[in-house]
């Protein structure tokens, strides 16, 4: 036996093994007894702000690194993750019935009214109850058709402003009731009363709309809308449909409005981009009164890139939250099952590590064959989430936004007249200032 054979070191000993760090080693803001890290969110002297989650996230990334642990409320840990590899791991481990900790006060309200609702609805419900609703409702929403064929025709009246206010009041309170002191579980706090009041108004409208549609179906036997399809389904009952209608109004109003505002801001602030989109719109719609069909949307390649770039810079929310069904490892840290993990996609999408010129609006980065095209991780730009719990109305939302922007750009030239626009975090990202636009009719 040769010396080289005798003294050969086994491969498993010679290979450098990566040592994993424990959950309590994850860096993050200091949590104090009774108050957790809430003191860091207090007005004036607090380091963070509840309505600027993306600013908070950037500060935490720079100070603590790509994995941050925070106990905003004592005893409830949140882990923030930034790397696309970690975000991918979260989605791969989320399981068949992805769970999240969100809309808790909303769930309390709905479960207190079993005469109106079967469950807390799609937003807060987890497990098999969530999947039953999701499976039933997504069948029709996932079909590729133009948004025009799906949406109910709503009459414009004074109720619209009340509905918008109700949705805004609820969405403004959800984040604080989810992550702040849970006193609303014991008694009706002012924040919970705001949710309750807004929900009662939306509920009233939903009950009216569903009742009228049900009468119409019985009278004319015509479905002709999403609502009609749901009411005619054997998989859902009247109370399920009422809950879904409330969810649609609650989630759709602010989401559609704010996304549209950010889209108009970026187009009006980038005249070259606007003109390219106008060129495409004019080619697809020679007559500016031509309706936008699903076939036209398929050919509107540049407008799709505009929408995607808008979502990169101004996504619907800072990221997505999940409750881990099993232990996961994020950037070398063990995170136990049951922990709430929240992705920081909004922050990551503005990092030079992942995008060239990250603070510039460049739709061409999504167009293959162009000099600006970038091949990036598919886990960075995820405005609607990913996997089984991706936003159920994703197709509807994307089509709506595309149609609105195409029609506006086709008919008007826009100029931005205000200061630089940022976002405020309610539950949904909202423009932090007025939408200051100047419109000029195109010939």
Q: CB neighbours of 45 closer than 8 A, spacing ≥ 6?
A: none
Q: Cβ(379)–Cβ(84) under 8 Å?
A: yes
Question: CB atoms < 10 A from the CB of 303, how many?
Answer: 25
Alpha-helical runs (H) found in 221-364: 226-231, 238-269, 271-284, 294-299, 301-313, 345-348
- Nearest-angstrom CA–CA distance, 39 and 3: 65
Q: How far apart are CA 394 and CA 316, in angstroms?
A: 11
Element (H, E) at 166: helix 159-179
CB 434 within 8 A of CB 418: yes
SS3 265: helix
CB atoms within 10 A of CB 271: 14
DSSP codes of every residue in 328-381: EEETTEEE-TT-EEEE-HHHHTT-TTT-SSTTS--GGGGSTTSTT-----TTT-
Was 391 annotated as part of a binding site?
yes
Chain position carrying tokens 């770039």:
309
CA distance 214 to 204: 16
The first and second tokens of residue 200, run together, are 């009662």
Q: For residues 233 and 111, give the distance between their C-alpha atoms in angstroms, rounded to a whole number.
A: 23
Q: Which residue has the tokens 């932090």?
A: 432
Q: What are phi and psi of 119, to 5 degrees?
A: -140, -175
List Cβ neighbours of 340 (8 Å cut-off, separation of 6 or more). 76, 77, 78, 79, 100, 101, 321, 322, 323, 324
C-beta atoms surrounding 102 within 10 Å: 20
Binding site: which residues?
A: 391
The binding site for heme comprises 391
């Amino acid at each position: 036996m040769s010396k080289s054979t005798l003294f050969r070191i086994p491969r498993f000993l010679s290979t450098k093994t990566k040592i994993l760090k424990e959950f309590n080693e994850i860096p993050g803001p200091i949590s104090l007894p009774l108050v957790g890290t809430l003191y860091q969110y207090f007005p004036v002297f607090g380091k963070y702000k509840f309505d600027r989650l993306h600013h908070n996230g950037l500060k935490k990334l720079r100070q603590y690194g790509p994995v941050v642990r925070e106990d905003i409320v004592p005893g409830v840990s949140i882990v923030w993750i930034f790397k696309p590899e970690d975000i991918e791991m979260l989605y791969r481990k989320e399981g068949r019935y992805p769970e999240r900790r969100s809309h808790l006060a909303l769930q309390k309200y709905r479960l207190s009214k079993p005469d109106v609702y079967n469950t807390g609805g799609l937003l807060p419900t987890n497990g098999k109850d969530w999947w039953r609703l999701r499976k039933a409702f997504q069948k029709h929403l996932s079909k590729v058709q133009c948004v025009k064929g799906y949406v109910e025709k709503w009459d414009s009246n004074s109720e619209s402003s009340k509905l918008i206010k109700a949705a805004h009041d609820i969405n403004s309170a959800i984040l604080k009731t989810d992550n702040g002191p849970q006193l609303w579980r014991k008694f009706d706090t002012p924040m919970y009363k705001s949710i309750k009041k807004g929900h009662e108004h939306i509920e009233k409208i939903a009950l009216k709309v569903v009742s009228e549609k049900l009468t119409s179906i019985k009278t004319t036997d015509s479905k002709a809308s999403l609502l009609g399809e749901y009411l005619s389904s054997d998989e859902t009952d009247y109370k399920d449909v009422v809950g879904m209608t409330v969810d649609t109004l609650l989630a759709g109003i602010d989401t559609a409005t704010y996304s549209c505002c950010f889209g108009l801001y970026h187009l009006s602030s980038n005249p070259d981009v606007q003109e390219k989109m106008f060129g495409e719109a004019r080619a697809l719609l020679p007559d500016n009164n031509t309706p936008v069909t699903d076939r036209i949307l398929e050919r509107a390649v540049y407008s799709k890139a505009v929408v995607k770039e808008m979502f990169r810079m101004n996504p619907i929310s800072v990221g997505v939250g999940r409750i881990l069904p099993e232990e996961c490892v994020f950037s070398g840290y063990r995170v136990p099952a049951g922990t709430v993990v929240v992705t920081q996609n909004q922050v990551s999408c503005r990092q030079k590590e992942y995008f060239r010129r990250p603070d510039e609006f460049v739709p061409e980065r999504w167009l293959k064959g162009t000099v600006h095209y970038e091949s990036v991780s598919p886990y960075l730009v995820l405005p609607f989430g990913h996997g089984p719990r991706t936003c159920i109305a994703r197709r509807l939302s994307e089509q709506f936004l595309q149609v609105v922007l195409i029609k506006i750009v086709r008919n008007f030239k826009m100029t931005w007249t205000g200061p630089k626009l940022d976002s405020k975090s309610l539950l949904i990202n909202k423009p932090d200032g007025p939408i200051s636009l100047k419109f000029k009719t195109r010939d």
